Amino acid sequence: MTDDDLLRYSRHLLLDEIGIEGQQRLLEARSLVIGAGGLGSPVALYLASAGVGRITLVDHDTVSLTNLQRQIAHDMHSLERPKVESAAARMTALNPGVQVRALARKADAPLLEAEVPHADVVIDCTDNFATRHLVNAACVRHGKPLVSGAAIGFDGQISLYDSRARTQPCYACLFPPDSGFEDVACATMGVFAPLVGIVGSLQAAEALKLLAGIGEPLAGRLLMLDGRRMQWSEIAVHRDPDCTVCGG
């Protein structure tokens, strides 16, 4: 750790739970962020600012004017630019010491098969069930922890699915692929601008805790936020022995 690092991360170093050892773990960590929109923006910026050494950012979309109400990694100069390139520029401007890989590609099965094995943590910031299930299946296959978040309207949720522990559930235990859940797009339902910031910041916090080896992870618990009342609720999530992804 350089003198500049000691100064940049001094507020982390002052925390007994993190200190030099925990910060060094962050500097050596590899993260995979799927989605560079509403949730991915705060996740990417906080991972970069906190000093996660290598961050791979995946998103096939480009920035549109409707994104700027909530996707804080982008601005007017980013319009029509790939979201990963826009976000990567903000991340490296914030912290040039981190290595950012910007993959302007869809998070399909071949890409996930190539990228997930190399990540210490995967953060799912997507907005559709099909991609979430692909990401979850890849994390289960390769035994990688997954931080999953969602936000629509005034409602948000977040959990950590840790496939390294055989007793822990995966995303499909709670939301089975054949359950008939329908995607609800913010383009038709809308989304409260700060909501994605709240959920995305929590995703970043869970990822940083896991990478630094501190605190109690959110595994086995689903947090749900009613943004109208600003009220959190929590339910326990158990592994489904009949889960088609991790069960049996």
Question: Contact at 8 Å (CB) between 206 and 158?
Answer: yes
Question: Contact at 8 Å (CB) between 220 and 169?
Answer: yes
Residue 12 DSSP code: H
CA pair distance 128, 243, nearest whole angstrom: 20
Residue 246: active-site member: no
Q: Tokens for 10? A: 């001094």
The single residue of 125, 139, 186, 243 carrying the catalytic annotation is 186
- How many other β-carbons are positioned within 10 Å of the β-carbon of residue 10? 10
CA pair distance 166, 188, nearest whole angstrom: 38
CA pair distance 146, 170, nearest whole angstrom: 9
Active site residues: 186
